A and B are shown apart, each in its own frame.
Chain A
Amino acid sequence: MKALVVTNCATAAYTSGLRALFPDWEVKGAELNTARNWVGGEPNPSFIEFLASTDLVLTAMPDEPMFAGNAKLVVPAFHFRAYHPDSFHLSCGDVAIQSVLKSGNLHSRIAATAFLLGMSRNDAIAAFDAGTYERTGYFAVFEAEKTELLQRFALHGIDLAAAFDRWTQTGNFLYTYNHPKASIFSDVLLQALKARFIESRQMASARATLATVPDYLEPSIRWPVYPEIAALYRFDSEMVWRTGRDAGSVSMSLEDFVGRSFEVLQTLSDISADCIPGFAQCRDALQD
């Protein structure tokens, strides 16, 4: 049995997970942009040959043309925004604006909106409080996000309802809104494989096997669950951002984070409200 994993930042977790669960399978993985490059701009014969001969492609992007002839196991991309409602991926036009976390383009809606409104750094820092979160709607997104997450996976036969309840009982299960901890990927993979490749009675041993899979996203960036939001969900959190390992795993306080955010935003000539989803709600909250 050959299996190919082509998805987003979950690629390594799912590839290693399949390898651990099915030692007799040949499993390889490539992140989507890399895979696209390997079938396009810089052809990789090894990848193209494996893609053509694989029995199964695990992917979040089943409509990707390169998979047209493959059997697919669809595992949607994971994101849950209720713990990190302020973070968003900032792009102006087609240009992704690098995050102050040095990697990726994750930014703060409050910081970016405050910048566009001409607020001072100190006023922007002061705006990170429960009142702003309440008025922007950050406290009201949990149920909708839960429903959306469960439905997104349920559409592909992946029932995460019980697992989700377990996750929320353990506190914060995310590094960023779309970077879950390894155990979350394991649960998702198990539920995706359940019935098709793993029987119910094998689930416990399979879960134990997946506990050996590295936490691939642990070295990457961290976005804090703002303490007032964490308190709502009954866990503790500190207002500390962290860059990824390759950028030195540097921790940032709120003051440092907002200051650096303003520095990045000042370099942009074409940033506008259109670049910030939820700008109007946040603007109204900041001006209230």
Chain B
Amino acid sequence: MRQWERSSSTRRSGAARAVDRRTMVRWGVAGGAALAAGSLAAACGPGGGLAGQGAAGSSTGTAVGSGQPQRGGILRAAWQGEPTGPNGGLDPQTCTSNCYPLDQHVFDTLVRVDYDLKPQPLLAQSWTAGDDGKTWTFKLRSGVKFHHGTLFSAADVVYTFKRLLDPKTGSVVAAVLSFIDGVEAPDPETAIFHLKSPNADLPLLVGTPQTSILPYDWSDEQLFTKPSGTGPFIFQEFVRGERIILRRNPEYWQPGLPYLDEVHHLLMPDPNARIAALTGGQVDFVGEVAPEMVAPLKQAGLQVQIVPSGNVNLIAMQMDKEPFTDNRVRDAFKLVADRQAIEQAALLGTGSLGNDHPFPKNHPFYDPSQVVKKQDIARARQLLAEAGYPNGLAMTLHVNADRPEYRSFALAYQQQAKPAGINLDLQLHPDAQYWSDIYLKVPLFMSSWNYRPSPDELVSIMFLSNAKWNEANVRSPELDAMILQARGETDGEKRKQLYYGIQRWVSANVGVVMPIFRSTISAMRPSVQGYRVHPIPWYLFHATWLKR
């Protein structure tokens, strides 16, 4: 599922939950390999944004990508659903779910957001910001061809962003990118972005799949049925409900890549069917794996990659509604959480712990000096008494019944809150009803977000006073000012400090209990090499190869 969307809707799995010890290599082998590959990526510089991808990690301890990459073969990947959206799903700007079969395979973006969430050159070779932070000049790669034969140039960049920002297109990311005033092309190899207000995250934002560069000489009708991009794979066929077939782009601008002849994306909505197909050898790769499947898959000799991510699960307390107008009550609700136990119950040891703000521990801007809150029932009781609830209080917590991790999180939290005098009545709602009738409309509800590469987006999408998804209804001029200042700050070190401050402020004041982050879990057959899970999660098969 793409990063703008809510958390991936892993369906309920009928499989028995394997009780897993906490021996998961959460920050272990996978993390170590991430560091190694990260430095490689940094060293390879312009022109080789992908070359460092070979050295990825697997939790089995063997380095994936060991040995010389082999050309050829068909990679078969199983997915929960097919690309969908108002235009049918093949248009990257309006695709709303399951867009990854095409994202970043058929198309390229200006920038590649690497595995450490740093921007790397892709279709843009370099970029510079003007002094005011409002003018950004991107130098483009030349000699790159679209699949239908025409050369890529700045005119395509202008076309792409004009279409994306046009309200008629109806892209859900137009709101996020509305700070872009326009793009101009002084020559074919230069694109200048003019911003309405400074935003230091522009390079990261033009690395997201919705900003995939579309050819200006390719009509909407063509795009909706036979998309053409500059990416490593060419769109071949889409049989609805069955498969999407991509074939190798022999003229891809990165020499030697991709290694695979074809990628077959197979649609298997049932999670058990995907796992059965993987263990049975019918498919080579499953992108989204439920935590309870990790142990049995490893036992079956398959590679499982678990990469910590910023996909957050939370309980929102609306600060304009009783009793959450009082920060002592909000604090009490945060202090009753035993984060470790919630993680264990909901994610079986595959996730990581949060500190009531949306930055995960491996984020480049995570404040390393913070100590993750510990459960403190006595303090919570005392805070509630001071706030006028000496005998505790009863509330209804609304839960989306179709997300398995919501339910286990809610049940664990309900038990933890009881000793502090917080009696929670859990109300479960089906998914379709939850987002339209419950979400943002009740004082206490659960929610989740997928990770975003832009630190500004992590906070501004839900904490700005006028944010569309202001789940906690926080309206603080102080926080708004902090967010806007950090957004415009182009000095790296200063910016870091600003985000540290935001983390402290949000954790101490805003009505969100954010105890856990879901990891991205992918599983693949032993023959799959050179693949690495991207934390967003994105699924990239550019440098993937099959060992025979």
Partners in one complex: no
Which residues of A approach B to under 8 Å, CB–CB? Answer: none
